[in-house]
Amino acid sequence: MLSKGTGLGRRIPKPWLLAAYGVAVVLLLIAPMFLSDFRLNLLSKFLAFAILALGLDLLWGYTGILSLGQGVFFGVGAYSMAMYLKLEATGGKLPDFMSWSGIDKLPAFWAPFGSFGFALAAAIALPALLAFALGWFTFRNRVRGVYFTILTQALVIIAVTLFVGQQGYTGGTNGITSFKTVLGFSLSDPNVKTALYYITAAVLIGSFVLCRWLVSTRLARVLEAIRDGENRVRFFGYDPAVFQSFAFALSGAFAGLAGVLFVFHVGIISPSMMGIVPSIEMVLWVAAGGRGTLIGAVVGTLALNWSKSLISEAYPDGWLIFLGALFIVVVVFLPRGLVGLFGSAVDFIRRRGKRHDRIPYRPVVPEGERQL
Amino acid sequence: MKRRLSMLASSFVAAAMVLTACATGASTTTESGTGGSTTSNETGETIKVGILHSLSGTMAISEVSVHDSELLAIKEINEKGGVLGKQIEPVIEDGASDWPTFAEKARKLISSDGVATVFGGWTSASRKAMLPVFEELNGLLWYPVQYEGLEQSPNIMYTGATTNQQIVPSVTWLLENRGKSFFLLGSDYVFPRTANKIIKAQLEAEGGTLVGEEYTPLGHTDYSTVISKIQAAKPDIVYNTLNGDSNVAFFKQLKDAGIGADDITTLSVSVAEEEVRGIGPDVLEGHLTAWNYYQTTETEENKAFVEAYKAAYGEDRVTSDPAEAGYIAVYLWAAAVEKAGSTDVDKVKEAAAGLTFDAPEGLVTIDGETQHIYKPVRIGEVQTDGMIKEIYSTPEPVKPDPYLKGYEWAASLSEGE
Amino acid sequence: MEVWILQLFNGISVSSILLLVALGLAVTFGLMNVINMAHGELIMIGAYTAYVVQHAFLAYAPKASFDWYFVLALPLSFAAAAFVGWLMEIGLIRFLYGRPLDSLLATWGVGMVLQQAARSVFGAPNVAVTSPSWLNGGLDIGSGLVLTYKRLFIIALVLAVLTAMYFYIYRSRAGRNMRAVMQNRDMAACLGVSTRRVDAASFAIGAGIAGVAGCALSLLGPIGPSLGTYYIVDAFMVVVLGGVGKLIGTVVGAAGIGITSTMFESWTSASLGKVLVFALVVAFLQWRPRGFVAMKTRALDGQ
């Protein structure tokens, strides 16, 4: 069998594992009873981010491709839904920012976003298509490793500059905001908020199960093989570009989906969420949790965002120093992330008495890069 | 074996949730724990107010001075005995130059800290992001910066200038005194684009001509091409709505290109004393600005304000229009609370209508209808010492008119509302 | 005609600035393969050094000598940024060789810390430096065309830095050691080269050059805590477009981006120009994934 990531699961008996999942799900279910409205809103937002992190983990942890452009896919998804919400809020009239910007008629490409179904489909399909198209050309031309990573930064710059510059169509730096209802339900109604929380949690659980299934298929074996030796896979007769593009498109789709849920909870999408800074932060969520372990992406997202919120509330004028230091510590001392830390702890405990079957750690670095 | 997930990892999530629950449970009982001293909403000794500006990120260069002046005003009011006999307790949050963060922190201030009001924001984008939160939770935001108008939320008090208190009169003054042909230069975002749309309509109505219009991305730092375009267009006036750091690059490079204030008049609406200090007075000497207040404004109140500001933050610090607008916002709120006898948002709003205050910029009055304030308009010229000298002022404070309803040529601008 | 000369001059000027900010990266990223996201903050350190030196001159030096503060500021900027770079290398980067993407994330954290530190030390607002009077004004080449001294100075500075780097890397013993370590670390170590010392020195030099860039940029642009963020992506684009591993690649990359962006900007607008340039870079890399000047290698997966 090929590499199995951090291989933690082997050491944990299945019933225990299922029990742990069960506890996690139950906690998600009862969270609204314990959390204030504000904290529940934050948790909803972080759960949405976790969906994005799952996709990024498939791409980075399993396929070995690091994208610093997830913010763009997230943004495209969020904007699609925001367009629907805006049209519903204005009730058929021209959105306010268009009239400020000298546009007197609804642009044609906005019209279909009046339908919820279309907006939702577009929010997932558009980022996936965009990612697939970019990936297809790029991977076929064998741009990889750090080159691909830097190329995705160019994508971010292009997208942000366009979204900011086309104010009449996108709302410019303000982005799109002031939503009122979704499918007729008021977004400010606490019950609707709780329902949206449950929807987000359900989508996250669904995404997680989907990802677990995906990584148990042969597809994931190929992706991991590409990560560990792209040319060897090519010599076996696979076309790595197809698989890489697919993984990239999948991560784009998850990012788009996360964007949709984000808009519901936060009520605004602006280009500032698509930029270089948030895109790098997204990668850090995965790195902090432990790449190549799906649960790590979720854990990392929740842990980092929660600490970011709390630290910035406690030290509003110095929190960046704490956060920056946290990033450094996580990357340097926890190369396998929080999940890896627990793995080591489990090993440590089991090593006493039993003959341990520790799997040597293999750094998740694509072959091409290792030789640099 | 296909499962590779760690039970411990999952239980970590579980633990995180439990901790969260505990933490929040705890915080709902004490209601505070952040943002300074943990005294007492229970005993009712203090009144909490939120201060929400970008203390990090690209906007920190501008917003920190407003943050400082608001804290100064709170300190002064507390020294005089506070409001309703209670001390004001500021709860500080960082908007981090990120608009969704502004929304998040505004929600936190209102719903979990239970603040009576919030002073905050700088960019239009941050205000637009906070607006739905304030409307949903019926909070009250005091927004202290000049902006592009066309807005009037029942939950926002605007203490900076709207367009007819800065841009429109300055264009009229330029047309009368400096020339007819305009070149519009701005950063590529909402305020400059909307402002320039208004200016273009005004130029058409008042006999000016437009010879060029350029927008540069936020954070743009090379203006050689733009300056070449300006040289080719030969305007009388460059009307500058650039933002933040771009101003530094533009003016430094304009001077190097041998274009001084004598060759082409530039008028800026986002360059105050603080920015002059960051660009260098030698670079900006003779260029014009339009604001409602300068550090040199001659009123008794201003003398006291400048003195107190320097005493609090250092001799080398300067005051500026937005800092002053933030300062008076706190005083206006305090006065409204005293008048209403309560911090309840609806009562405060009602009490605020028609309220007057002897501000450093002169007498200001809250217009109950628009929730903006009457302000005098001043054109100023940058001096070698970095101060701005007033060269024109409206005789009376100007009535705020965010939708420019009083201007015929502006009829088409505010459609779709 | 004059328009074209001016355009060309603008283009070369923009290229020279890009080259200056990218040269440091050409060493840390191009040769050492560390994705240093704190590169922009090293530039910021250089700019603040210029500011500090100026203040020192105002306070302690005779008035007549003020104009020469800049001459002192350049080497001090190099030293300050190189020192911070050296600290970064021995304290952090050292543990991350062979993990370029991890170095990206860790240095991003370093950048955040440095930005906030600058904000605490110098305050959040921008600070200003007065440029020396011998750099004010410009060279009049007739018919209203003025080539400003500052931009000419930066072009000259880039050429000087480039020459110095060339001699250091290709003509000195230290440079030979550096290239040896980059090409085959184990072999170099076997031959008695202290790879640790070479790594630290190379990174410090790359950082120092960023500091020089910051000092020079203080003539043209803002000096503030977020200064670095304006240049970081552009700098990476230059290095990637040019091709890593060779100085000449970085020169070609800077010239390519600088001149095309000036052209696009004068034809369209600054925003659209930027979009077009980055789109072109992406398209170009599809065609030549290794950039303009690629290192020849026989390794299938190598660079």
Tell me which chain B residues have a C-beta less than 8 angstroms from the C-beta of A219: none
Is residue C285 within 8 angstroms of chain A, CB to CB? yes
CA distance A327 to chain C (A): 5
- Name the residue of chain B whose CA is nearest to C260's CA: B225
How high does pLDDT run on average in chain A? 87
Q: B201 and B413 in contact (C-beta within 8 Å)?
A: yes
> CA of A372, closest CA in chain B: separation in Å?
31
C-alpha dist (Å) from residue B7 to A275, B3, B4, B155, C110: 35, 10, 9, 48, 33
- Region B286-294: what's the mean pLDDT? 97
Q: Do B12 and B27 have their domain in common?
A: yes
Identity at B394, one-letter amino acid code = T
SS3 content of chain A, % helix, strand, coil (to 5): 75, 0, 25
Three-state DSSP at B238 gives strand
Q: How far apart, in Å, are the Cα atoms of B240 and each of B171, B393, C303?
A: 12, 20, 48
Res B157: pLDDT:
97
For residue C84, the model assigns a pLDDT of 97
Q: Is the pLDDT of residue B16 over 80?
A: no
Are B304 and B155 in the same domain?
yes
Q: Under a CB-based contact definition with an 8 Å cutoff, are residues A39 and A248 in contact?
A: no
Q: Which residues of C touch A370 (CB under 8 A)?
A: 98
Say if CB A366 and CB A227 are below 8 A apart: yes
A279 pLDDT exceeds 80? yes
Strands in C87-169 per DSSP E: 138-140, 146-148
Interchain CB contact of B178 with A (< 8 Å):
no
Residue A368 with chain C: CB contacts under 8 Å? 301-303
Residues in a beta bridge with B214: B185
Q: Which of A179, A306, A342 is facing B6, going by the closest CB pair?
A: A342
* Per-chain mean pLDDT for chain B: 88
Please indicate if any CB of chain C lies within 8 Å of the CB of A320: yes
Does residue B41 fall inside a structural domain? yes
Inspect the interface and report whether the beta carbons of A320 and C92 lie closer than 8 Å: no
Residue C51's closest chain B neighbor by CA?
B278
- Which of B365, B385, B400 terminates a domain? The answer is B365
User: For position A211, what pLDDT does the model report?
Assistant: 95
For residue A15, is pLDDT > 90?
no
Per the model's pLDDT, the better-predicted residue between C53 and C141 turns out to be C53
pLDDT one-digit tens code per residue, B183-201: 999 998 889 988 999 999 9
CB A347 within 8 A of CB A354: no
Residue in chain B lying closest to C116 (CA):
B56
Is C229 close to B280, i.e. CB distance below 8 A? no
Q: Could you tell me if B34 lies within 8 Å of chain A, comparing CB atoms?
A: yes
Please tell me which of the candidates A276, A328, A368 has its beta carbon nearest to residue C106.
A328
Interchain contact B37–A (C-beta under 8 A) = no
Residues of C in Cβ contact (< 8 Å) with A142: 289
Q: Give tens-digit pLDDT for C66-102.
A: 889 999 999 999 999 999 999 999 999 998 887 888 8
Residues B143 and B21 in one domain: yes
Q: Is the pLDDT of residue B9 over 50?
A: no
Q: Tokens at residue C287, please?
A: 């065609």
Structural domain contains residue B416 = no
- Summarised one tens digit per residue, pLDDT across range C28-67 is 998 888 899 999 999 999 999 999 999 999 999 888 888 8
Q: Are residues B170 and B265 in the same domain?
A: yes
Rounded CA gap, A228 and A217, in Å? 17
SS3 of residue A186 by DSSP:
strand
Does residue A353 have a pLDDT over 70?
no
Chain B residue numbers touching C127 (CB-CB < 8 A): 277-278
Sign of the alpha-carbon torsion through C279, C285, C288, C292? positive
In which residue are the tokens 């939503």 written?
A179
Q: What is the pLDDT confidence band of residue B6, given thresholds at 50, 70 and 90?
A: very low
Sheet holding B373-374, edge to edge: B356-359, B362-366, B373-374
Q: Decide if A323 touches C, using CB distance below 8 A.
A: yes
Chain C residues with CB-CB distance to B229 below 8 A: 266
Cβ-Cβ contacts under 8 Å, C150 against chain B: 256
- Structural domains counted in chain B: 2
Let me know whether B65 and B30 are in one domain: yes
Residues of A in contact with B189 (CB under 8 A): 164, 167, 172-174
Q: Report which residue type is found at C7.
A: Q
The predicted structure's pLDDT at residue A354 = 52
- Mutate one of C234, C268, C278 to test the A interface: name it (highest A CB count within 10 A): C278
B128 and A172: CB-CB below 8 Å? no
- Asked if pLDDT for residue C303 goes beyond 80, the answer is no
Domain of residue B402 covers 164-295+377-410
Is B280 in Cβ contact with C128 (below 8 Å)? yes
Residue of B nearest to C14 (CA): B222
Residue-averaged pLDDT of chain C: 90
Residue A63's pLDDT is 92
Measured in whole angstroms, the distance separating CA B346 from the mean position of its chain's CA atoms is: 23
pLDDT at B297 over 70: yes
Question: Cβ contact (<8 Å) for A318 and C272?
Answer: no
The amino acid present at A356, given as its one-letter code, is: H
Averaged over C201-218, what is the pLDDT? 96
Asked whether residue B58 falls in the same domain as residue B108, the answer is yes
Contact yes or no for C224/B278 (Cβ under 8 A) = yes
Closest to B7 (Cβ–Cβ): which among A16, A188, A316? A16
Helix axes A70-90, A276-289, angle to 10 degrees: 120
Q: What residues pair up with B365 in beta bridges, in sequence order?
A: B356, B374
Nearest alpha-carbon partner for B319 in B332, B333, B307: B307
Which band of pLDDT confidence, cut at 50, 70 and 90, is reported for residue A352?
low
Instruction: For residues B252 and B395, state if they share a domain.
Output: yes
By C-alpha distance, the chain C residue nearest B252 is C220
Percent of chain A with pLDDT over 90: 61
- CA B382 – CA B296 distance, rounded (Å): 11
* Least confident piece of the model among A115-119, A346-350, B243-247, C295-299: C295-299
Q: Which among B53, B59, B256, B277 is the top mutation candidate for probing chain C, defined by the most C β-carbons within 10 Å of its own β-carbon?
A: B256
Mutation test of the interface with chain B: which of A74, A208, A272, A298, choosing the one with the most B Cβ atoms within 10 A?
A: A272
Residues B49 and B17 in one domain: yes
In this complex, the chains that touch C, judged by 3 or more CB pairs closer than 8 A, are A, B
The pLDDT value recorded for residue A6 is 43
The pLDDT value recorded for residue B58 is 85
User: How high is the pLDDT of residue B207?
Assistant: 93
**Res. A3 pLDDT band, cuts 50 70 90:** very low
Chain B hits for C124, CB-CB cut-off 8 Å, are 55, 60-61, 63-64
B122 and B271 assigned to the same domain? no
pLDDT greater at residue B259 or residue C293: B259
Query: Does residue B43 sit at the A interface (CB-CB below 8 Å)?
Result: no
Cβ atoms of B243 and B220 within 8 Å: the answer is no
Instruction: List the single range of A76-80, A317-321, B77-81 with lowest mean pLDDT.
Output: A317-321
Measured CA angle at A354 (ends A349, A358), to 5 deg: 70
Instruction: State the pLDDT confidence band at C302, using cuts at 50, 70 and 90.
Output: very low
Model pLDDT, residue B244: 82
The CB density around residue B301, as the number of other CB atoms within 10 Å, is 19
Is the four-CA dihedral C243, C244, C246, C247 of positive or negative sign?
positive
- Min CA distance, B55 vs chain A (Å)? 6
User: Which of C100, C102, C290 faces A372 most closely, judged by CB atoms?
Assistant: C100
The secondary structure of chain B in percent helix, strand, coil, rounded to multiples of 5, reads: 45, 20, 35
Residues of A in contact with B186 (CB under 8 A): none
Does the distance separating the beta carbons of C124 and B253 come in below 8 Å? no
The tokens for C249 are 């690649």
Predicted local confidence at residue A143, as pLDDT: 82
Q: Domain for residue B372, yes or no?
A: no
- Is B54:B239 a contact under the CB 8 Å cutoff? no
B255 vs C contacts (CB less than 8 Å): 136
| Cα distance between residue C57 and residue C63, in whole Å | 8
Assess whether B273 and B125 both reside in one domain.
Answer: no
Cβ separation A326–C110 shorter than 8 A? no
What confidence score (pLDDT) does residue C299 get? 52
Using the Cβ of C230 and the Cβ atoms of chain A, whether some distance falls under 8 Å is answered with no
Q: Is C91 on the interface with A (CB under 8 A)?
A: no
Residues of chain A in contact with residue B94, where contact means CB-CB under 8 angstroms, are 312, 316-317, 319
Q: Which residue of A has its CA nearest to B149?
A: A100
Contact B32, B92 (CB under 8 A): no
Which range (A217-221, B328-332, C208-212) has the least confidence? A217-221
Whether residue B417 is contained in a domain is answered as no
Using CB atoms, list chains with 3+ pairs below 8 Å to chain B.
Answer: A, C
3-state SS class at A176: strand
Assess whether pLDDT exceeds 80 at residue A11: no
* Co-location of B231 and B271 in the same domain: yes
Residues 6+ apart with CB under 8 A from B93: A312, A313, A316, B35, B50, B51, B52, B105, B108, B109
Q: Which of residues 112-171 of B touch A (CB under 8 A)?
A: 112, 123-125, 128-129, 131-133, 136, 148, 150
Subunits in contact with chain A (3 or more CB pairs closer than 8 Å): B, C
Say if B114 falls within a structural domain: yes
Q: Do the beta carbons of residue A266 and residue A83 sit within 8 Å?
A: no
Residues in chain C with CB shorter than 8 Å from the CB of A367 are 301
Are the C-beta atoms of residues C43 and C21 closer than 8 Å to each other? yes
Same domain for B23 and B110: yes
Confidence grade of residue B48 (pLDDT, cut at 50, 70, 90): very high
From A67, which residue of chain C is nearest by alpha-carbon distance?
C101
Model pLDDT for residues C157-187, shown as the tens digit of each residue: 999 999 999 999 999 999 999 989 888 888 8
Q: Where are the domains of chain C?
A: 15-229
Residue of C18, C48, C126, C129 best to disrupt the B interface, most CBs of B under 10 A: C126
Taking the Cβ of residue A146 and every Cβ of chain C, the question of whether any pair is shorter than 8 Å is answered with yes
Across the interface, do B20 and A268 touch by the CB < 8 Å criterion? no
